[in-house]
Structure 1
């Protein structure tokens, strides 16, 4: 990979774009739920980012990702790594993005639909790795 992913993150304001995506996630509950906002996987964020800001994947020279893509580096893996690092560095809980894991135990497949209607199957399911989840931190926490 010839692009500096950290510089690209800053130059294209990827973090602000991701916060926008996370803020736009609808909460289906009719009243605010005690569990808070829904989480998105890195794949869900990658799909929305690629739909709204295709220049990010284009400049990275990657696809959204998924099983069968044939590369270890994808938009989903890039976002997962960058967002995980932001969450890890957030010692005082003030960063606008928070993270969690979905256990991979008993999960054999997660399939997403991209903006073009194509299926994207997570390459992380069926592995010993848990699945990273991210959401917009709630203002009252």
Structure 2
């Protein structure tokens, strides 16, 4: 959201933290570890369609209006899909997770909300290349 007179980046960070904490505690949806820049872009887009100009104003409304929360949450959803859509995710998966999975006899992976299958297919390709696909059960 754009800075209002007197707002500092530190104030905006605190307000965003409080907004995300309110969503988590009130509705159980945890966006606290989402990409900050992505959330800020999506909230700015939401702001275009709403009268709320600060995160604090949004927080107050969200705490009292579940329908309003669902409108906002729709802006957080990723509506695009592609093979290996998030290269940083797959790099971290290869570096940090696959070595651990090699030690397990079997494991399950769930891709919730995948639209047309590119994400689970990307996972299958990655696991196949790592010689781990035979240990995996992928839900999509």
Q: Which has the higher contact order (CA 8 A, sep 6+)?
A: 1
More helix by share: 2
So what's the TM-score if we normalise by structure 1? 0.26
Structure showing greater radius of gyration is 2
